[in-house]
Amino acid sequence: MPARGDHDARRRDVSEAVWRVLAERGFAGLTLRAVASEMGASTGLLTHYFPNKDALVTYALDLADQRTLDRERRTAPAPGMAALRAALLDVLPLDAESAAMNRIWVGSWNRSLSDAALGAREARRYEAWRERLRPHLADARDRGELPPSTDVDDAVATVASFTHGLVVQALFDPAHFPPERQAALLDGFLRSYSTT
C-alpha cells in the first residue's frame, strides 16, 4: 500500500494532467488515454481513480469548480456598481488563465446539455453565480446607482447574460475582443444600465 503522501502526490499529478488536457483539448478530448499520456503513465494507473469516462468528466467538473472558487478575485473599491464591475471582470477572459478557465466551462456545455445530471449541476452553478451578483445590484439600487424601480432579479439575469455573451464572443474572436475592449464594453453596458 503506497504511503498517504505518495497517494496525495499522485492525485495532484492526476489533477494537473486532467487540467492540462482540458485546457488544450476541451471536454471532447478528455479521455483516460489522453490524461495518461499527459502524465507519462498507463491507463491502468488511472483506472484506480476513474473507472470510466463519466467518472473522469465528473472529476474534471469538480476540479473546474474548485479552481473557479479558489482563484484570486479583484477587490471592489466600493459597494454597488463598483463591486458588480469587479465581480464581472473576474469572469471575463482577460488573461491566459481566465481564457483557459472559460474555454473549459464553455466546452462542458455540450455534455451538460445532453446529460440530465450534469445539466442540473450546471443550472445550480449558474444559480449560485447569479446569487453572488444579486447583493451588488441590490446595493446599487439602494445607493441610487440604479432606478428605485429596478427589479433586482431581472437586473441580475440581464447582467449575467451580457457578461457571458461577451465571454463567448471573446473566446471565439479574441483578436476583435482583446482585454481592453472587453473591459470597455462592460463599462459601457454598466453605464447604460446605471442612473449615475
pLDDT digits (tens, 9 = 90+) for 125-154: 999 999 999 999 999 999 999 999 999 999
The pLDDT mean for the chain works out to 90
Is residue 105's pLDDT more than 70? yes
CA-closest candidate to residue 186, choices 55, 90, 102, 45: 90
Is residue 166's pLDDT more than 60? yes
Split at pLDDT 50, 70, 90, the class of 2 is: very low
Answer whether 92's CB lies under 8 Å from 163's CB. yes
Residue 112 to residue 98: CA distance in whole angstroms? 21
Answer whether 26's CB lies under 8 Å from 107's CB. yes
pLDDT confidence of residue 28: 85
Rounded mean pLDDT of 161-178? 97
Residue 57 to residue 30: CA distance in whole angstroms? 8
Q: DSSP character for 29?
A: G
pLDDT confidence of residue 86: 97
Is residue 5's pLDDT more than 60? no
pLDDT confidence of residue 196: 61
Is residue 174's pLDDT more than 90? yes
pLDDT confidence of residue 195: 67
CA-closest candidate to residue 157, choices 190, 187, 186, 134: 134
